[in-house]
Structure 1
Amino acid sequence: MILSRHERMIAKRYLLPGKGERFIFVVASISLVAVMLGVWALVVVMSVMNGFRAELFDKTVGLNGHAVVQGYGGRLPDWELIMDELEATEGVVSATPLIEQPLMASYAGRVEGVLARGMRTADIRENEVFNSNIIEGDMRALTPGSGNVAIGSRLAVSLGAVVGGQISLISPQGRSTPFGTVPRIVSYNVGAIFEVGVYDFDSAFVLMPMEDAQTLLMMSDTVGMIEIDTVDPDNVHAIIAPIAARWAGQAVVTDWREMNSELFDALEIERVVMFIILSLIIIVAVFNILSSLIMLVRAKKRDIAILRTMGATRRSMMKIFLTIGLTTSALGTIAGLLLAFVTLRYRQGAVEIVQTLTGQNLWDPSIRFITELPARTDPFEVLAIVGLAMGSAFIFTLYPAYKAASTDPVEVLRYE
């Protein structure tokens, strides 16, 4: 929509308050602030929701893979054959054998339930989720036969364990005696403490070399599962379908959606609902733009009639008032985006300030699963929010613009 010089001048004049028009200006300012708050709320909330999903996906999938092949009874005897087939499957990036077993851990008289995980030494070294989140010790200490393990930070706090201390793992799969099965208790040195930022993992994981896990659980050369990473997590079901069909009855193949379906489905539903609800703020703001323009058209009825008699066309009047409405919405949208980006930049600091002022822990990791407030802004969502603000403003501005364009100068000036 290209404006001529005189149309730009008139639009600029009507945007600024004139004598006796301050009430209209106040209403228009409120509309601008409302648009700003609506855009700000939408961008911040959607970015945080995206951050939750991305953080959960990165950390959960980083520890569990895009899919797993699990053996019945917790054992996968033919794991080497399955590994060969997986590595030859198109779309599979890597396959990692694992052992996972719920056990009990004891340290200085304290006992906690843990999840022992055995991994090959090379896989431990290459796992970015663990290695990039070491807070004490060194993962290189985890070698077969060394008797060293790595534990989560929350588990270390619960047990009072420190690097260099001894932790005892208690397995119910012990040796049989005339009086029943005696639990197997093996002591290990704490070689490293990690904090991946997911409470369930940090409070329970005990990581050890594969050979040590096999010895502890008396699994010989078998493993419990194989973790699979693919080129496309969203298409993982189709990629692993041949493996699932090939080993049906001997192993169960589960992808990340099935393992975490309730959590990710709930996040997706909440994300859509929040977008719809917060969009109403923008719609209400646009109603304010509509009302302020209607009042402006009524206040400027005489001016419009004079402009029409001087040769201004209906099209010019439409363009002028559409420009006023869209400019108000655009200014509010830009201000909302700037405020949203500042809020997202300093979000964690804001949470800490509120916690300090209220004396309440607003981000208890045992409740919220992730230890910090995440955020990830999607440019396409931002464009959609901008489109919603500008598109609704355009639609709602059409009526007052049409009323201004349809003003009959003869009727208006008849009694002037």
Structure 2
Amino acid sequence: MFKPLELFIGLRYTRSKHKNHYISFISLASMLGIMIGVLALITVLSVMNGFEKELRERILGMVSHVTVSGTDGKLSSWQALDQQLATNNQVEGIAPYIQQQVMISANGEVRGVLMQGIQPERQSAVSKLEENMLDGSLDTFADREYMIAIGRELANSIGAFIGDKVTVITPSAKVTPAGVLPRMKRFTVSAIYKMNMRDYDSSTAFIHMDDAARLFKMKGQVSGLRIRLDDLFEAQSVANTLQNELGDEVKVSDWGRDNKTFFSAIRMEKTMMFFILLLIVVVAAFNLVSSLVMVVNDKQADIAILRTLGISPNSIKKIFMIQGSIIGVSGAILGAIGGVLLAGNLETIIPALEDFFGAKIFPEDIFYISKVPSELHMSDVWMITVAALVLAVLATIYPANRAAAVQPAESLRYE
């Protein structure tokens, strides 16, 4: 079978045992370093992807894909706009809402919250609020019943639970014989939810939209319309299209724009983690350089003999590049396989380790995410593997050039 001479000798050098066992150890350490670096990169980026997905789903459990609101906080004639938006093929659900900042008081405790008036029968079309109820239900909401749903953190902080009364204090005021007083209304807690996001569980509350219209003096008006799309990643283009169609009388925003800073921070952190962990592969590549330099010094006589037999310096260079590349490629491939297997089974491995050591990595009473999520992207695997392969090949250039520069006469003079 035909085998190029450079490949044949490079494979033989890779398999052969060195007189200096330290060279073999450094070569093995280089391969293991590349393998561990690739494995760690794939695993960490998969965990970062998992956290991003988990947070995105929790945010979208409360936030709609696209929001159409009035420029002054009020949207009149919203029923016609509701019907118009429903004809869009990309729209899966629409729900009106009224929104105001208020104060909630109970048991001597006062908290500022974002109060949202909703239509219970339409809310499930744009959010997962009903799915995350710990106690009670939105079915208890009715016009003039003055029921309220609050988050678990808010309920704990003010000591109000199912059946308890809370006082809602609005920023608008009314004039009475006793002077100017804030508008207040008593509500009964009928539902408690847990979205596993502190911002929502501690500072949001929901009431019936008709009750909100009376409380905030917005009869016949709403703050806006929340829209759910068939593809959440098309939210930006749909929002831009709707803004052009509806004009400047309304404001159209999407979930990505509203949470741009948050997701930008996650992407920046993911990028920085990639470059930091890539240093493991870089260090392993430097180890590969040192091991190949020692191999070249160890094979001085062999190189000289090959040169006297007529092999060109370019072929000598290829031999040692092949030898180094085999070490690098082996480490990158083994690391990629190990990374895919580890990242794909983290949800099984982590609970097993927690049971073995008897400790939780993310205790549920401290962290909102009590498990380590993982989402493997093959694009990340390919990017990391290719980066490791490129570094491994680049690491062979200097030692291979040194091997090609060996002078046969000088090397064989004292042999």
Superposition TM-score, scaled by structure 1 size: 0.81
The verdict on how the C-alpha distance between 1:364 and 1:413 changes in structure 2, with shifts beyond 3 A counting, is: same
Matched residue type, 2:300: K
* 2:129 partner SS: helix
Q: CA deviation at 1:380?
A: 0.2
* 2:396 partner SS: helix
Q: Does 1:119 align with 2:118?
A: yes
* 2:385 partner SS: helix
RMSD: 3.9
Aligned counterparts of 2:86 and 2:360: Cα–Cα separation in 1:
54
Aligned residues: 410
Aligned counterparts of 2:365 and 2:288: Cα–Cα separation in 1:
38
Matched residue type, 1:76: L
Aligned counterparts of 1:135 and 1:200: Cα–Cα separation in 2:
17
Give CA deviations for 1:107-166 in whole Å, capped at 9, x if unaligned.
333322222222222233445632443333344444555544332222222123333444
* 2:96 partner SS: strand
Q: Does 1:34 align with 2:33?
A: yes
Instruction: List aligned pairs for 1:237-248, cutoff 5 A.
Output: 237-248=236-247
- Unaligned segments of structure 1, at least 5 residues: none
Q: CA deviation at 1:189?
A: 2.8
> Aligned residue for 1:189?
189
The verdict on how the C-alpha distance between 1:291 and 1:71 changes in structure 2, with shifts beyond 3 A counting, is: same
> Aligned residue for 1:377?
376
The verdict on how the C-alpha distance between 1:34 and 1:181 changes in structure 2, with shifts beyond 3 A counting, is: same
Matched residue type, 1:329: G
> Aligned residue for 1:99?
98
Q: CA deviation at 1:24?
A: 0.9
Instruction: List aligned pairs for 1:267-278, cutoff 5 A.
Output: 267-278=266-277
Matched residue type, 1:176: V
> Aligned residue for 1:205?
204
> Aligned residue for 1:342?
342
Choose 373-382 or 334-343, whichever is displaced more.
334-343
Contact 1:175–1:184 (8 Å) recurs in 2:
no
The verdict on how the C-alpha distance between 1:159 and 1:177 changes in structure 2, with shifts beyond 3 A counting, is: same
Choose 85-94 or 105-114, whichever is displaced more.
85-94
Aligned counterparts of 1:371 and 1:144: Cα–Cα separation in 2:
38
Q: CA deviation at 1:101?
A: 1.8
- Unaligned segments of structure 2, at least 5 residues: none
* 1:74 partner SS: coil
The verdict on how the C-alpha distance between 1:362 and 1:155 changes in structure 2, with shifts beyond 3 A counting, is: closer
Matched residue type, 2:188: Y
Aligned counterparts of 1:317 and 1:176: Cα–Cα separation in 2:
95
Contact 1:79–1:223 (8 Å) recurs in 2:
yes
Choose 149-158 or 273-282, whichever is displaced more.
273-282
The verdict on how the C-alpha distance between 1:131 and 1:302 changes in structure 2, with shifts beyond 3 A counting, is: farther
> Aligned residue for 2:385?
386
Give CA deviations for 1:3-48 in whole Å, capped at 9, x if unaligned.
8499777656544573532111222233223323432443244334
* 1:69 partner SS: strand
> Aligned residue for 2:86?
87
> Aligned residue for 1:170?
169
The verdict on how the C-alpha distance between 1:300 and 1:137 changes in structure 2, with shifts beyond 3 A counting, is: farther
Contact 2:363–2:370 (8 Å) recurs in 1:
no
Choose 384-393 or 179-188, whichever is displaced more.
179-188
